[in-house]
Amino acid sequence: MAYDYEKSIRPGKLPHIWCPGCGHGIVMKGLIRAMDTCELDRDNTAIVSGIGCASRLPGYLDCCTLHTAHGRAAAFATGVKMAKPDMNVIVCGGDGDGTAIGGNHFIHACRRNIDLTYVIMNNLIYGMTGGQFSPCTPTGAMASTTPYGNPDPVFDISKLAIGAGATFVARTTAFHATQIDKLIAEGIKHKGMAIIEVLDDCPTTYGRRNKFRSVTDMMKRLKDMAVPVAAASKMTAEQLEGKVLTGVLYKEERPEYTAQYANVIKKAQGA
Amino acid sequence: MAKKVALMQGNEACAQGALYAGCSFFAGYPITPSTEVAEVMSIELPKIGGKFIQMEDEIAAIAALIGASLTGAKVLDSTSGPGMSLKQELIGYACIAEVPCVIVNVQRGGPSTGMPTGPGQSDMQQAMWGTHGDHAAIVLTPASCQEIYEETVRAFNLAEKYRMPVQIQIDEICAHMRERVQFAEPGEMEVINREAPSVAVEDYKPYDASKGLIPPLAAFGSGYRYHVTGLNKAEDGFPTTKAELVDAEERRQIDKVMLNLADILKNEEYLLEDAEIVLFAYGSTSRSARYAVNELRKEGVKAGMFRPLTMWPFPDARVAELAVQAKAIICPEMNLGQMVREVERVAKGNCEVAHIGRVDGEPINPGQIIDKVKEVL
Ligand SMILES: Cc1ncc(C[n+]2csc(CCOP(=O)(O)OP(=O)(O)O)c2C)c(N)n1
Residue B2 has pLDDT above 90, yes or no: no
Ligand 1 centre distance from Cα of residue A72 (Å):
11
* Phi-psi sector, A222: left (phi>0), alpha (psi -120 to 50), beta: alpha
Write down the pLDDT at residue A1.
Answer: 61
What pLDDT digit, counting tens, does each position of A70-92 carry?
A: 999 999 999 999 999 999 999 99
How many Å is the Cα radius of gyration of chain A?
A: 18
DSSP state of A19: P
Smallest CA–CA separation between A142 and chain B, in Å? Answer: 30
CA distance A227 to A229: 6
Residue A135 has pLDDT above 80, yes or no: yes
- Beta strands (DSSP E) in A4-70 are 45-49, 64-67
Average pLDDT over residues A239-254: 97
CB A26 within 8 A of CB A178: no
Classified as helix, coil or strand, A94 is: strand
pLDDT band at residue A180 using 50, 70 and 90 as cut-offs? very high
pLDDT band at residue B1 using 50, 70 and 90 as cut-offs? low
Percent of residues, chain B, with pLDDT higher than 90: 98
SS (H, E, C) chain B: CCCCEEEEEHHHHHHHHHHHCCCCEEEECCCCCCHHHHHHHHHHHHHCCCEEEECCCHHHHHHHHHHHHHCCCCEEEEECHHHHHHHHHHHHHHHHHCCCEEEEEEEECCCCCCCCCCECCCCHHHHHHCCCCCCCCEEECCCCHHHHHHHHHHHHHHHHHHCCEEEEEEEHHHHHCEEEEECCCCCCCCCCCCCCCCCCHHHCCCCCCCCCCCCCCCCCCCCCCCEEECCCECCCCCECCCHHHHHHHHHHHHHHHHCCHHHHCCEEEECCCCCCEEEECCCHHHHHHHHHHHHHHHCCCCEEEEEECEEECCCHHHHHHHHHHCCEEEEEECCCCCHHHHHHHHHCCCCEEEEEECCCCCCCCHHHHHHHHHHHC
Amino acid, single-letter form, for residue A219: M
Ligand 1 centre distance from Cα of residue A247 (Å):
27
What pLDDT digit, counting tens, does each position of B325-349 carry?
A: 999 999 999 999 999 999 999 999 9
ipTM of predicted complex:
0.97
The whole-model pTM stands at 0.97
Residues of A in contact with B43 (CB under 8 A): 268
CA distance B160 to B18: 13
CA distance B306 to B309: 10
**Does B90 contact A69 at a Cβ distance shorter than 8 Å?**
yes
Mean pLDDT of chain A: 97
State the count of interchain CB pairs (< 8 A) between A and B: 132
Those residues whose C-beta lies under 8 Å from the C-beta of residue A236, and which sit 6 or more positions away, are none
Q: Which of B89, B227, B239 sits opposite A69 (nearest CB)?
A: B89
CB A229 within 8 A of CB A244: no
Average pLDDT over residues B248-256: 97
Classified as helix, coil or strand, A175 is: coil
What pLDDT digit, counting tens, does each position of A202-235 carry?
A: 999 999 999 999 999 999 999 999 999 999 999 9
Q: Chain A: residue nearest B219 by CA?
A: A64
Residue B15 has pLDDT above 80, yes or no: yes
Residue A128 has pLDDT above 80, yes or no: yes
Ligand 1: residues within 6 Å at CB?
A 51-54, 70, 93-97, 121, 123, 125-129, 134
Residue B148 has pLDDT above 70, yes or no: yes
**Does A268 contact B59 at a Cβ distance shorter than 8 Å?**
no
CA distance A189 to B331: 61
List residues of chain B with CB under 8 Å from any CB of chain A: 24-25, 27, 43, 46-47, 49, 51, 53, 55-57, 59-61, 63-73, 89-90, 93, 220-231, 238-239
What pLDDT digit, counting tens, does each position of B118-147 carry?
A: 999 999 999 999 999 999 999 999 999 999
CA distance B213 to B244: 17
Return the best residue to mutate from A18, A51, A118, A144 for the ligand 1 pocket (most ligand atoms within 8 A of CB). A51
What pLDDT digit, counting tens, does each position of A13-51 carry?
A: 999 999 999 999 999 999 999 999 999 999 999 999 999
Give the CA distances from residue A120 to residues A46, A81, B288, in Å, rounded to whole numbers and listed in that order. Answer: 16, 18, 56
CA distance A247 to A256: 23
Give the CA distances from residue A151 to residues A219, B7, B18, B254, B302, in Å, rounded to whole numbers and listed in that order. Answer: 25, 60, 50, 46, 71
Torsion angle of C-alpha atoms A33, A35, A39, A45, degrees rounded to 10: -150
